[in-house]
Amino acid sequence: MTSNQYPFWTHDTVAAAVLAGVGTASFQSRLDVWASKLNIPAVTALVHGWPMLLIFLGLVMLVIHPVSEAPTSRPQPGESTRSSHGFRS
């Protein structure tokens, strides 16, 4: 049996990535204007480096907290479904 529960997941992922890219570009342009008004080198460096910092932190989180698969508890042959869930008759 083929599970076709989420047929548009690739379209949703692409749309989310495009939306995140547009939002980040808009935010970056506003930050650039703000940093140029302040004219502080440390702030300007931070404004230009925050996307790479976020990417790096995301990669670290992926390595530290791997996604665990949901356990699939299937009853053994001859075992009823009730006994596998802890119910007794």
Enumerate the domain spans of the chain: 30-61
Residue 23's φ and ψ, nearest 5 degrees, are -65, -40
- Model confidence over 41-83: pLDDT tens digits? 998 888 888 888 888 988 888 888 766 655 555 656 665 555 4
Q: How many CB atoms lie within 10 A of CB 35?
A: 18
- Model confidence over 10-37: pLDDT tens digits? 778 888 888 988 998 899 999 999 999 9
* 43 burial via Cβ count (<10 Å: 0-12, 13-18, 19+): middle
